[in-house]
Structure 1
Amino acid sequence: MSQAVADLLAILDLERIEQNIFRGSSPQVGWQRVFGGLVISQALVAAARTVEGRAPHSLHGYFILPGDPSIPIVYEVDRIRDGTSFATRRCVAIQRGRAIFSLSASFQIEEEGLSHQFAMPDVPDPETLLSDRDVFEKFGAQMPPAVRSYFKRERPIELRPVDWMRYLNRKPTEPAQNIWMKASGPLPDDPAVHRAVLAYLSDMTLLDAAMVTHGRTVFDPTLQVASLDHALWFHRPFRADEWLLYSQDSPWTGGARGLTRGLIYARDGALVASVAQEGLIRPRDAKA
């Protein structure tokens, strides 16, 4: 197991302070604010640890304030409802006495029902695409400093975009992209771990889908970019340490916001999760 994956598993294993109160931390890698996927996944872990016999099928979260990675995050869970089939939880992430994120999650017993799904896009296999290391060796000299620093750091999630060049040539293109993702090392068999890791990676690259049509990326220093809200639906079992195709699009941007959507497929074409997110995409004041 890579050290980055081990560190991710450690920060997802929250400390229980009281029956419905948990504490988490952030990796100390120089981030100025807590990564949105981290607080989503930790809030899901906290909520799930108050539920028995049911797995999460949906979550909806709002980012309220930027999180400070240098101090712990306290998660308070409210047991809204425990029904025969469903359970509902609300979780608030707190730092310095103020809420930085709120989550509502629903849990369901395993049931049978009607079934259909959109087909997975026809894209190249991940093994035929450039790895992170290949991309850095080939294009590192062309990358802005912030992007180069990102690629130098060991990360718990491996990404293989179907089209790397769109990040380098900055040419406007359609607001859609396909990216293979997986944990960069093996994970325990516990399905709860795989759901937490998918919640973590579900916040990655989404806002880029709203920006590529404008020839911009989240690393653009002229833009203020941040997640505003996030919704995730789990459809069927999966492994987050095996390749998952994250197919993303952005139907709209405007008013300094962008709407993005994502479908996450297993390697065999099964649709395992769906995502929707609105993010802040605000031009920075030229005088700032």
Structure 2
Amino acid sequence: PLPNMLAAPASIHNYFNIIQIDESNVKSEPPFIGGAFLADRTFGGLCVSQALNTFMSLNPGLIPHTVNYKFVAPAKTSLPLQFKLNHFDDGKMASVFAYQNEKPVGLGHIRYAKDVDHLDSSPFLCPDYGSPEEYPSTVELAKNFEGHMKALMEGLNKFPLEIRPVESPLFPSSDVDRVTLWLRIKPEYQDALKPTDGLLAAMFISDFTILQVASEIYEKSNIKVKSGASLHHSVWIHDAKLDPYGWYLTVVECEVISFGRVRLESYIFNEARKCVLSVVQEGFIQRAPERKNKL
């Protein structure tokens, strides 16, 4: 469910271009894009991407290995985000604190090295899917659907991503409950990206509709979903040199779903079908209250 009041951004320059305050503090200026359930709650992928951008901007010679981000409180789309970086004294580890109006909204930990040799390749092979152009975009799908699905596709179209759905639990093409999408930053927004922003673009993409697989598993069992949120988002980086303008195939599976708490695993592949990021996320889904039938 996407809020109807979600507006397409005029520009995403502020998503990937942050302002350095001093050697350990940066800020980014709103407005930010909202998330899937609340239009005034900043999209989680933007927070994760900017936390990593903080580290990379302040430490241009270091290579991030792992990013773990905890969503401490909802970040408002209309307020500036400020990030403070701290290095651990005795390890290749840094923490990033995210604030709005001096209130903590996020906490990140970043493991890093001085070279790419510490980045391990992923053992996961890409499932046998077609290329992006073999699947209709959400713009095309919106023309063919009616009612709720049409509204959903139109809501997705306001996001600065070109989205080509491959399969999901409600629209399966395999016998596995998974959500698979081809995604890229829309060409009309790509002027906001530098050639070196590939990892930041992939981080932004890594949280997109990640809870959808759990929502659809509930819906298959006729359980209505009211809302949801990401809680912890952990990313293992397998390739540091990524194309900011390219397509990425995201494959998300739900490992655990119990009492609305979900644990998800996602693998992100580039156009060459190489796994470039592995993601583990915990989140929660709020079930809609059941209506009692009046006799």
Q: Is the 8 A contact 1:81 1:89 kept in 2?
A: no
Provide the C-alpha distance between the structure 2 equivalents of 1:214 and 1:106, rounded to a whole number of angstroms: 35
Alignment of 1:157-172 (within 5 A): 157-163=161-167, 166=170
> Does residue 256 of structure 1 match 2:264?
no
Give the counterpart of 2:185 among 183, 192, 199. 183
Q: Is the 8 A contact 1:174 1:212 kept in 2?
A: no
Provide the C-alpha distance between the structure 2 equivalents of 1:135 and 1:156, rounded to a whole number of angstroms: 17
> Does residue 283 of structure 1 match 2:284?
no
Instruction: Give secondary structure in 1 for the equivalent of 2:167.
Output: coil
Instruction: Give secondary structure in 1 for the equivalent of 2:94.
Output: strand
Q: Is the 8 A contact 1:88 1:105 kept in 2?
A: yes
Residue 207 (structure 1) shift: 0.8
Provide the C-alpha distance between the structure 1 equivalents of 2:69 and 2:210, rounded to a whole number of angstroms: 15
**Superimposed CA distance per residue, residues 134-155 of structure 1 (whole angstroms, 9 cap, x where no aligned partner):** 011111x3226862551452x3
Q: Is the 8 A contact 1:174 1:213 kept in 2?
A: no
TM value normalised by structure 1: 0.83
Residue 256 (structure 1) shift: 2.1
How many residues are treated as equivalent by the alignment? 271
Match of 1:50 in 2: 58
Question: Aligned AA for 1:101?
Answer: G
CA RMSD of aligned residues (A): 2.8
Give the counterpart of 1:230 among 208, 233, 242. 233
Alignment of 1:41-120 (within 5 A): 41-81=49-89, 87-108=92-113, 109-111=115-117, 117-120=123-126
TM value normalised by structure 2: 0.82
What is the percentage of aligned positions where both structures have the same residue?
23
Q: Structure 1: state its 5+ residue gaps.
A: none
**Superimposed CA distance per residue, residues 211-240 of structure 1 (whole angstroms, 9 cap, x where no aligned partner):** 222227xxx984220000000111013213
Residue 6 (structure 1) shift: 8.1
Change (3 A) 1:175 1:16: same
Provide the C-alpha distance between the structure 1 equivalents of 2:55 and 2:118, rounded to a whole number of angstroms: 24
Instruction: Give secondary structure in 1 for the equivalent of 2:88.
Output: strand
Residue 177 (structure 1) shift: 2.2
Q: Is the 8 A contact 1:178 1:246 kept in 2?
A: yes
Instruction: Give secondary structure in 2 for the equivalent of 1:273.
Output: strand
Alignment of 1:12-27 (within 5 A): 12-27=16-31
Q: Is the 8 A contact 1:26 1:34 kept in 2?
A: no
Instruction: Give secondary structure in 2 for the equivalent of 1:127.
Output: helix
Question: Aligned AA for 2:129?
Answer: V
> Does residue 124 of structure 1 match 2:121?
no
Instruction: Give secondary structure in 2 for the equivalent of 1:166.
Output: coil
Provide the C-alpha distance between the structure 1 equivalents of 2:118 and 2:286, rounded to a whole number of angstroms: 44
Provide the C-alpha distance between the structure 2 equivalents of 1:116 and 1:253, rounded to a whole number of angstroms: 25
Alignment of 1:175-214 (within 5 A): 175-185=177-187, 186=190, 188=193, 190-191=195-196, 193-214=197-218
Instruction: Give secondary structure in 2 for the equivalent of 1:41.
Output: helix
Provide the C-alpha distance between the structure 1 equivalents of 2:81 and 2:70, rounded to a whole number of angstroms: 16
Provide the C-alpha distance between the structure 2 equivalents of 1:200 and 1:113, rounded to a whole number of angstroms: 20
Instruction: Give secondary structure in 2 for the equivalent of 1:230.
Output: strand
Give the counterpart of 1:147 among 145, 148, 152. 152
Provide the C-alpha distance between the structure 2 equivalents of 1:115 and 1:46, rounded to a whole number of angstroms: 25
Residue 110 (structure 1) shift: 2.2
Provide the C-alpha distance between the structure 1 equivalents of 2:232 and 2:33, rounded to a whole number of angstroms: 24
Residue 13 (structure 1) shift: 0.8
The more displaced of 98-107 and 112-121 is: 112-121
